[in-house]
Amino acid sequence: MKREKMIQYMDLLDEKYIAEADPANAKKIRSKKIRSTVLRIGSIAACLLFVAGIFNLYIWLFMPGPSTEQVIRLEHLRIGDKFAEYTILKTSRWQEWILGEKIGDQVSAGSIYQMKDTGTLQYLIKDCGNGEYELLQFRSFFVDLAEIDDQYLASEIMREQYAAGILTDEDLAQLRYHSTYTYGEVLESIYGVVSAEDIDCIIWEKTKYDHTEVGKSVPVKKYVMKDEASIKRFYDILYSLPRVPADTELPERIYSDDEAYLTGMKPLCAQTERFVLIELTNGAEIQFYYSPTGSCLYESSYVVYETINAADNEWLIETVDINLSWVDYGVNPVKTNPPGAETAVARELIQEE
């Protein structure tokens, strides 16, 4: 019999027979097995602790820290002859560490710098001192304070502050509602785009804000605009669009629980609206949302642009191949109460009886 098979068969022997044959040796075997089991458990525990440590280190380094702030933090600065509003982004410790290595030319007083080798002002770095940095992202332009007259100053307090040369962030928030500019100013001042040739491609995709089962089930074909003629026409549309006041309502969005969809009157916004990603030749990206039913482009609920003329809107619908006809995608499943549960209405009816 081969040695390997003999060892396999010996492993199958009941320990009581080994103990009866050689009691002293049996104790040694049992102690070895105990040590082996302890070592195995210890190795597994050590591996788990190591993995947990690596995971916690990853969270500490690469995930943004918790924030107790309830509002978006903003930074206001002059860019050329305009005032710009930047959002202060939450960053991880790792990102904050490497921001110091990415500082480029100074763009504004207050230790705010361009990101090195980007060629745009989309993202800026603020040196807060003591080795701490903040990452800023462009949000919008607002009215130039040097051109403000009484029609923009909504209160007597604001007039006094303006006369004294002092305006708080709250004052600026009110002034922003009156701001208007064309997107061409943003393209040139922030992204360094001076012609359609600075655009590499434009990607049109399904929006992601409808998270219902029906919304997720709507098929939308991705479209990539690459030909020069189409890019040039879209660039011309975008360049001339003026921003409308910040209190302008967004185009109507139709969801699967809206009566307009349930009655077959209007299609779902998941079917008609598009997320637009403009990829520039300098590596920067610009994001928009396009509503064909509202004939407009918007960046957020705060930054909306004037409606596109009918001819250009029809061209976009046809080019991107957007179906504006009502399509039945069903309804979201109704959530029922667990067995035995009663709704408040049901209890009231029982009490009335």
Q: Provide the whole-model pTM.
A: 0.69
Handedness of CA 19, 23, 29, 32 (dihedral sign): positive
Encoding tokens for residue 187?
């393209």
Task: Give me the pLDDT at residue 159, please.
Answer: 55
CB 138 within 8 A of CB 122: yes
CB count within 10 Å of CB 279 equals 15
Nearest to 111 by CA among 89, 133, 90, 96: 133
Residue bearing the bigger pLDDT, 163 or 101: 101
Task: Give me the pLDDT at residue 44, please.
Answer: 76
CB 279 within 8 A of CB 202: yes
Helix (H) or strand (E) holding 135: strand 132-142
String of DSSP letters for 195-223: SGGGEEEEEEEE-S---SHHHHH-----E
CB 86 within 8 A of CB 138: yes
Q: How far apart are CA 106 and CA 166, in angstroms?
A: 24
CB 74 within 8 A of CB 87: yes
Encoding tokens for residue 134?
């903040």
Residue 288 φ/ψ, nearest 5 degrees: -140, 165
Task: Give me the pLDDT at residue 301, please.
Answer: 74
Task: Give me the pLDDT at residue 334, please.
Answer: 57
CB count within 10 Å of CB 323 equals 13
CB count within 10 Å of CB 73 equals 13
Task: Give me the pLDDT at residue 322, please.
Answer: 96
CB 183 within 8 A of CB 243: yes
| pLDDT band at 72; cut points 50, 70, 90 | low
CB 120 within 8 A of CB 107: no
- Whether the predicted pLDDT of 87 surpasses 80: yes
> How many Å is the Cα radius of gyration of the chain?
32
Convert the pLDDT of each residue in 239-273 to its tens digit.
Answer: 999 988 666 778 889 998 899 999 999 999 999 99
Q: How far apart are CA 116 and CA 99, in angstroms?
A: 10
